[in-house]
Amino acid sequence: MAKPLALTSGEPAGIGPDIALEAWRRRGELDLPPFYLLGDRAFFAERAKILGLTIDLADAVPEEASAAFARALPVVATGEIATARPGQPDQTSATAALTSIRHAVDHVRAGRAGAIVTNPIAKSVLYRAGFRHPGHTEFLAELASDGGRVPQPVMMLWSPALAVVPVTIHLSLREALAQLSAELIVTTARIAVADLKAHFGLAQPRLAISGLNPHAGEDGSLGSEDIDIVAPAVEALRAKGIDARGPLPADTMFHAAARRTYDCAICMYHDQALIPIKTIAFEDAVNVTLGLPFIRTSPDHGTAFDIAGTGKANPSSLAAALRLAARMAATSVPPI
């Protein structure tokens, strides 16, 4: 039997608990693999009551989760209570969310879980509690380091219709331009290729590398960055045997016929990558962290405090994240 997935609680005041409960309730309809929820069982029982859901919750350890999943939602205790009301983070929120993530990493690294799926966190809540990382991804990278070298994580947004990787992520556009380099493009693309081979079953991933400027710089008349930075990166990738094309005009990369010519689009900055995928696949896009020594996926949305506890939260993206994590775990091959 495949190992269960470890699902973190996310921000307790957000919709993470809502969609976790609803996903398990609709597990057959959504074709979900076995997973367990990390956190405070009493809190999840109270949230189910607020939502008007009849959910059987079972105290479990990871090794028991798959067997229990058909009859009850397995909950693995983290030792931290949560008391936040929907939409109202409180003094327990940050500790509950972070402890859930730490336990998930411990479980997957010990071979007790097949992969990690993370519910949304509220970075503003964590920052007020002293959290010093830009977000989930960087925190997971530090946990993966075991005090040694911190791996470089790469964010991929994946859907059946499109997969995108931004080279620069949560930076202002000015700062993204300052940090963009041929070396960063090459490193990001190589990490993406390694994980596409290891976890997506692609023997020779095809990359489409976007230009930075309109029309990929129009031969330098609209900026020299595509000639000076992007084109050398593409040449370096090809020299390493990677199937890469570019720099390509970003405005013609994402229509249906163009998408059929590549497996992943490597884009220069956040919105260049995320606007097309959120337009094409808003409800089933999945956030995947590449470059870590374990599999991590996440729904591609935030905490949605305004609808937490109302029953309006849609579990579709979480369901897609769970299915993709299971698929990646099943497809995993040892690195060459």
pLDDT (tens digit per residue) in 122-143 = 989 989 989 888 778 888 988 8
Burial, 49: exposed, middle or buried (Cβ in 10 Å; 0-12, 13-18, 19+)? Answer: exposed
As given in the structure block, the two tokens for residue 84 are 């936040």
Q: Using one digit for the tens of pLDDT, what is the confidence trace for 52-69?
A: 999 999 999 999 999 999
Q: Which residues are annotated as a binding site for a divalent metal cation?
A: 170, 215, 270
Alpha-carbon span 290 to 194, nearest angstrom: 9
CA 134 to chain centre: 14
Q: Average pLDDT in the 216-221 region?
A: 88
Please provide residue 293's backbone torsions phi and psi, each rounded to the nearest 5 degrees: -80, 15
| Domains in the chain, CATH or no CATH each | 1-152+292-336 (3.40.718.10), 161-280 (3.40.718.10)
Which residues, 6+ apart, have CB-to-CB distance to 73 below 8 Å? 20, 21, 24, 36, 37, 44, 55, 56, 57, 58
The pLDDT tens digits of the residues spanning 167-213 come to 998 889 999 999 999 999 999 999 999 999 999 999 999 999 999 99
Give me the chain's average pLDDT, please.
Answer: 94
Rounded to the nearest angstrom, the gap between the alpha carbon of residue 166 and the centroid of all alpha carbons in its chain is: 13
Indicate if the alpha-carbon torsion angle 11, 104, 133, 166 is positive or negative: negative
Q: Which residues contact 271 (CB under 8 A, 6 or more apart)?
A: none
pLDDT, tens only, 268-288: 999 999 999 999 998 889 999
Residue type, position 123, single letter: K
DSSP bridge partners of 155: 289
How does residue 147 score in pLDDT terms, banded at 50, 70 and 90? low
Angle between helices 182-200 and 231-239 (to 10 degrees): 40
What is the reported pTM? 0.91
Q: Cα–Cα distance between 292 and 279 in angstroms, integer?
A: 28
- Pick out the residues of the known binding site: 136-137, 170, 215, 270, 278, 287, 296
Can you say which residues are annotated as belonging to the binding site for substrate?
Answer: 136-137, 278, 287, 296
Judge whether residue 334 has pLDDT over 60: no
Q: Is the pLDDT of residue 236 over 50?
A: yes
The residue ranking higher by pLDDT, 129 or 107, is 107
Question: Kind of pairing, strands 163-166 and 154-158?
Answer: antiparallel
